[in-house]
Every structure is written in C-alpha cells, then in structure tokens.
Structure 1
Amino acid sequence: MASIQQINGDYYGSNETLTEALPYIKKKDIYSAAINNLFGIAYKELAIYDEAFYYYNEALKDCTDSVSRQSPLNNIAVVYIQQKKYNESIKILESILSEKILEEKVFIPNKARFMDNLGYAYFKKENYDKALMLMTESLKLREENNDSYGSIESYLHLAEFYAKKDIQKSNENAKKAYQISTIQNSVDERLKALSFLISNGSGTKYAQQYISINDSITKIRNNFKNKFAKIKYDSKKEKDENQKLKLEKIENLLAIKEAEKDKVILFATIIATLIAFTSLGVYLRKRYKHKTRLVEITTAYNTETRIAKDIHDELANDVFHAITFTQTQSLTTENNKDTLLQKLNHIYSRVRGISRENSNVDTGANYSASLKDMLSTYNTSDIHVIITNIEKIEWNDLENEKKVIIHRVLQELMVNMKKHSQAQLVVLKFENAQNTLLIDYKDNGKGCEKSKIIKNGLQNMENRILAIKGTITFETEPDKGFKVNITMPK
C-alpha cells in the first residue's frame, strides 16, 4: 500500500502506512530493510534529505547480503547528487559497480541504473567525457535488455547533458523520453521531458501539453489522496500524538453549547492574529541594514501597507461573518458546528497564506529547496509553475542579504502574477554567467501596456534589486504575457 501511495505522489500518506506496518516487524531482516528504504524514498522526494539519509542507513543495517545493500546505497548516492556532494556519490557508485555479481544477466538492469547515476554525478562534476561515456553505455545496456522504463531516465539525463551543448540533441533525447514514458504511462517523466522541451524554447505546443497532462494528474492524485487519512507523520517529533491532541481540541470547541464561549474564543484568535501582524510590522522596520536604509525603509513601509491591506481585505469580512454566525445561530446542532468549523478553517488558511508571504527567509543549506518550495506553492489546478536550473546555482557563494532579496522579489512577482495576470503557465529559469546570476521570469497572462504598468509591488522589486547593484527589466504587451529579466552580481 505504501509503495502504491508513493507511485501516486502521496508521500505523507505513504509514511503513515509504513508506520502502521512497523509493529508487525518482529526482527531486523529484509522486510524491515524494505520499510526503511521506502521511508527514505519518501523523504528524498519531499527534499527532507537528513531524514532520507537516516532511513537509508537504517535499511543498510538490516540488509543481509551485498546484493540487498545495493539499492539503499544507490539511493544514498542519489541524495548526495541532490546535495551537490558529487565526490561522495561517485565513491559509493564506483564501489557498487566493482562487484562482480553485477555481471550476471539478472542484475544487468541494476548495473545500468548504477552506471547511469554515476555518469550523471560526473556530469554534475563537469567531467563531461566520462559522464557521456557512462550514460551512453548505460542506455545501451538498457536497450539490449529491453529495459524500456529504465531507458527513460537515461534519455532525461542525456537531454539535460546536451541542454547547453547541443539543443537539437537535447530535444531528441527529451522527445524519446516523452515517447517511452507515454507508452509506460509514467506521468512524472512525461512532464519532466516536456519541461526540457519548453526550457529549450521548442514552442508553445509543449506548454499546452504540459498544462493538460498536469491538470489530469493533479485531479487524479488529489482524488487518490482523499482516500487516505491526511496525516503528516514525523517519527522523531511524534506528530501522530500532536494530531490526536489537535483533533480533541477541535471536538471540545465544537462541543461547547454556550454561544458566548464560542465568541470569546473567536475574538481571542482574531486579537492574537492582529497583534502578531502588528509585531511583524515593527520587526520589519528594524531589520534593514544602514547602508541601504532609505530604500529598504520604503520597501518595509510598502510591505507593511500590503500586509495591512491583506488583513483588511482577506480577513475582516470573513471574521465579521464568523462573528455574526455565532450571534445568530445555535451552535448545539451538528450542521452549525460544521459550518463554524469550516469558517474557522478558512480564516486559518488565509492567515497562513499571509504569514507564509512575510515569514523569515532560510538562507542556510536548505535555501534552494526553500525557494523552490515557495515558488511551487503557487501551483494550482489553474496555474502551472515550471522551475528550471535552480539546483545548478551555487547558492552558498551568494551573500545572505542577496538571498533574502531574491526570495522576496520572486515572491512579489508570484503574488503579482496571481492577482493580476490570469496566467495559466509560469516559467522561471535560473542561470550562471561568469560572476553574474541571471533569473528569467515568463508567464502567458494577459499582460498590459508597458507604459501602464501599475507599480505597487513592482516598485518594491526595483528598489530591492537596485539596493544590491542589480538590474531588473519588465517586458509586456496586451495579450502577450509578462516577462521579467533580473541580473545581479554574485
């Protein structure tokens, strides 16, 4: 069941199911290794790499022979690639490939997989000759052994390899990956192949295909997830127990019969929220450095003004209706209890949205994943966000101040898109150029006359970028989308 949930993209649900399986394990053996390996895969896909390492290593402890150790070791090597620790990944993969048992026919698919990952690690390390040799040999082995599904990953890696060297070859490999993944009904690989074709500038027809496929799979996976309990399990922090306590508090709240008590609780929540956002405004005034104080204070003021407007526009009416409901309706009936709970949950979601847009920025080792996660939150059934090359940027070489500004500027771009553009597709591309970082933003929204661009958040973006000696340009025409080009020194 947990494996099926992972295939359907429900990694939190998979972790919950795996947790239910744990009590049935009486001793450390191949079954406990399989469970820990699946835990590791789920956390890897969620980009929680420390947890992934923990469970992969637990799986290794339970493996009974060298063959069973190969899968978790390979998975650890893949995580190292994601973390740009290429030497560590290469060391593990070369060690696995040195085992003679991989020469046996039954293990050839495994050998091809390990070889492809090793080639990809060398590619990331910029040892291009060795990378191409290994990835090409892996593809040959897969084709000779009719490993059609495995060849998809080979073609995707080659598409990325050629993306900056030979666009035609990159597109050829991406198209092969798309064709085979279509036959294999492998949706994620189809979307990845299309993202390469879109990034390579191969036309809008691929963007339309991307939107259509992504719409379908999102609906299917949402329906699938709704069949399982939506509990986010964290074994170290005992989230199961916290979830039970939360549910008990909700039940106790709804069980209160006196309407006045409900009003007191609701008013306390509203007051606490408003105090929190007022404190946020004070904090924003104090946090900016002296050298850019004039520009940054202006930006902080605009940010506070936007927060205040969001609270007024997005929360005030909802809060008023919730209060009116408690004053006019009996809370002793189940239907009214459910309605009040829905209203409270809606207000809570609005508060979380505003909080997310104005929370502190993680500038540490997880910056890239945090930035990608923020951008991905704007993916909806109507808006599709494609992010390319974000992992290729050496974020550790960038000053923390610049990381914060990039995060805020892109966040304001996405907010502006969501409120004004009516876009269906957004493409963000990151690129290194000598000592400069380039960021390109494009959407297929309604656009506008360039002379009539409404400043607001756009003015904030300009102020932020100018403060770090960067440049930002806007390109737009009615019905021709919106483009933004950002350059900044590293």
Structure 2
Amino acid sequence: MAFLVIFSCQKKTIIVKKEAYSKTEVTRLVSLANISFNAKKFDSAFYYYNEILSICPPSKDPENYISTLNRMATIQQKHGDYAGSETTIKQGLPYIKLTKKQFLVWTLYSILGNNYLNTHNNKNAILYYEKALKLNVTPEKKLTTKINIGLALIQNKEFDEALNLFLSLENTKGVVFKPEIYGALFDNIGLCYFKINNYESGLDYMMKGLEIRKKLKSPSELGKSYIHLAQLYDSKNPSLAKKYALLSYNEFGKTNQTEQSLSPLRIIIKHSTYQEFKTYSESYINLNDSIYVTDQRVKNQFAKIKYNSKREKEENLKLKTHRAENELKVERQRNKNIVAYIIIILSLCMILILYYYLTSKANREKIEAAYYSETRISKKLHDELANDIYHTMAFAENTNLSLIENKEQLTNYLETIYSRTRDISKENCTIVTDENYISSLKEMISRFSTLNINIILNGLDSINWYNINPNKKITIYRALQELLVNMRKYSEASLVGITFKQDEKNILVHYKDNGKGIDTDKIIFKNGLYNVESRIHKIKGQFEISSSPNQGFKVFFKLPLS
C-alpha cells in the first residue's frame, strides 16, 4: 500500500487555473475590435477579435463567440483567404444551438456559402444558403440569400433555374428592397437571359441594373455591370465589348478586389491592337503575379496574428507553471528515489523467495525419487530375491547335496539369485544418455530375453538419438524397463515386439506381447505403471494401454521431440 501511495506521487501534474471569464473585458475588446473593423483597420480588428476568442467560452457567451468568428471570417474573406475563412467560421458550428439570435447563425451560414461560392464549390454553397434561408431573419437578408443561390446556380451553368429564381424575386410584393439589391438583381437577370441567348432581354435588364448602380456610385458594383455588358457584346460588337471592359477595368481598379480586374483585361487583350496587346498583356501578367503574392501575404498575415497570440498565451502559461514545476522538482526526485529503493528491495525479496522455492522443490523431488527408488528396491528384494533365497535354503537343508544332480540344482538356484541381484542393480543404476545410449538400451532389453521369451526390436537404429533430450531418453528407458519387468512377472508371454518410429515432431514407441493380457476396465495402476505414466505426462507425452484377457498386452506412448 505504501508503494502505491508513493508511486501515485509520481503522477502529479501541474494544474494552472485558467483566468475567469470576464464579461466586462469581452465587451471592452468587442468595442475596440468593432471600431477598427468599421475604420477598415482589419489587422487591428483581427487581433482584437482573436483576443476575444481566447477569453470568451462559447458555452457561457455564445453570441459574442459566434459574432467574433463571423467578423474574423469576414476579414479573411475580404482579403481572398477563403480557406482560412472557412477554417475560422467552422469553429462556431457546434455552438449555433446555444444562441437565440438567428441573424448570427444566418451570417455564419452566409459566410460559409460565400467561401464555397468563391472557390466554385457550388453544391456546398447552395447547401449553406438553403440553411440560411430557413432562419427567421429580415426580408432583405432572405432576398440576399436567394440572390446568392442564384449566383451559385449561374456558376453551375443552371441558367434557366437561376433566371426563374431571379424573376420570382423581381415580382415580390409588399417588400421594399435597397437599391443595391435591385441593381444586383436586374444585372443577374440580364446575365441569365444572355446565357440562354436572349440578348435583347439580357441587354434590357443589364441596363436597368447599370442605371441603379450609377446612382449608387459603387466601383465594385459598376465593375460587375460593365463586365457583364462586355461579355454580352464580346461576340457581337468587339468595340463595345472593349469599351465596357475598359470601364469595368477602371472601376475594379478603384477597389481592393484586384482579382476582379482579370476578367475585363482578358476581353481588352482579345480586342486590342498589337501595341495595346503588349501593354495589357504585361498588365495582366503583373496583376496575376501580384494577386498571388498578395494572397500569400494575407494568408500569412492572419495566420501570424493567430500564431503570435497562441505563442504569447503559451509563454504566459509556461511562466505560470515554471514556479510550480520548481516546487515539485525536489519532491518528485525524492519520490523517485524511494520508489527505486522499494523496487530494489521487492526484487531482492522475490529473488530470495524464488530461490528458496526452487531449492525446496528440487530437494523434495530428490527425496521423493529416493523414496520411490528405495520402495521399489525393497519390494523387489522382498517379493523376488527373499523368496528365491528362502527356497534355496530349504532345498539345501532338505536335500542330499552329495548327489551330483542336487549340486547342479543348487548351483542353478544360486545363479538365479545372482541374476536377480544383478537385474535389481541394473534397474536402479544411473542410465547412460551419451553415444552409448543405444547399446545400454539394447543390453537392458536383452536381459529380459530367455529361452522361453523372444523379444523383437524394430526401428531402434532409425531414431536420431543424438538430438533427443537426455531426460526423454531416460523416460523411454525406464518405461520399457517397467513394461518388460511386468511382462516377465505377470503376462506369461513368449513373444514381445517393440517398435520405434520418429516423425517431424514426435518419437513413437509401440510395445506388444502375446501374454495373458488384462481387463483394462479393471486395471489398477500400481507403482510401476503409475511411474511410467507420470514420467511421460511430465514431458507432455501421451500414454495409452490396450488389452483384454487372453489377447495380449499393448502399450503406445508418444514423446515430443521439442
């Protein structure tokens, strides 16, 4: 338990409290950011908005959080960083259900749709515009959304669908729209008519839109009307096409939307003389390069603001945690040392316990082996040798040893006693497992062969005994020895067959004799057979007995090579 408590100290982590949410501070930063945004100081505005995100939890103040993301994404969108704008605005999607202000959600969906529209992902653009259209917002916002859907349809070359949508908006009753909306609506209706080859209607609506936009004096909107007129006249009246293209080029030149200037330049170049062609071509190339450089600069600019803000917060966090780290450093080191000492002590204890266990186990096995060996020798001495000696003594006392035949009989009895003594000695001596193993095994088996018992060996020399584990050699030796002892004592067999085989994984031994056999249902595993089975099972082998009365005795055992 003490070890676990000390070890848990190692898992301590430094926890630095986050700054509490301050509505006042958020309001102050929102005010500063909005002032910069309205003054078109977008760098400063973006910086302040980014600061708001760092202290404004969306779960507590979803309105300010989503509004801030909308403004940041709008700034990036105005500067052509559509990918950055999309990444920023998507941070607000998980929290739109927390706000009741529908116009904030409408703005978020519209910005996402505009990003997709500007990157020609018309399917997703329409998807988010339609989501915005379902919200409860002002008629002007709904009209703007429908116009954006129409623009996506135009980009997707679905001109008939776009025209039907725009015409339905033109006939909307009971709603007064701003002039800039009407200007865009008429211009887009004219563009759709032009795209379906209705030039007269197209020119009529384009001119209506142009007249409205002239009154508004918006360079960006005028540039759009002029480029559409240039496109309409491109194949019919090159001089008018060039005229309107120049007007469009000049109007777009007054704005920061330099990318819009590429379309009128292409028409101007197409209808220019040689000298003009060279001049405007150089302008086109320089403008294209400038747009690329500007886009990269803008992307890096806003990414740097985010990065610097994040780095500053991380540095502040590091400073706050540094003191806590120093305070814990000494304690952690001390705990590490204590844990190390405990691990060493436990390891030593485990080693000692394991050593004691293994030593005790080995001693127990030696004692058991000695006990079984002594019991076996004692039994053989009592059951076999003692009986033979008693009969021999009785024969010597009750028989006239002066007769030659009696002397010869006494000699035979003594020879039998000597043979039994030698067999008992051989059965319990150390078994050779080196290169002389086969000779030793053959010699042991041959001792059980008599005039009345014939033993046949098959396949003994086919086994690769050199690669077999010594313990397995001993097991085979003792198993066959025990089977042969039982055969000579009980079976009254005259013929014994022992077959050896080896496959890829096992050594197979088949023993068979023609003795009187036994009933396997009534077999009792005494010390001999029990020891054989136990030895084989210890080395993960198999042991099977097959016998029946007057049908001989069969044993099969299998030992794995590895």
TM-score by length of 2: 0.39
TM-score by length of 1: 0.44
Higher Rg:
2
Greater RCO, 1 or 2 (C-alpha within 8 Å, sep 6+): 1
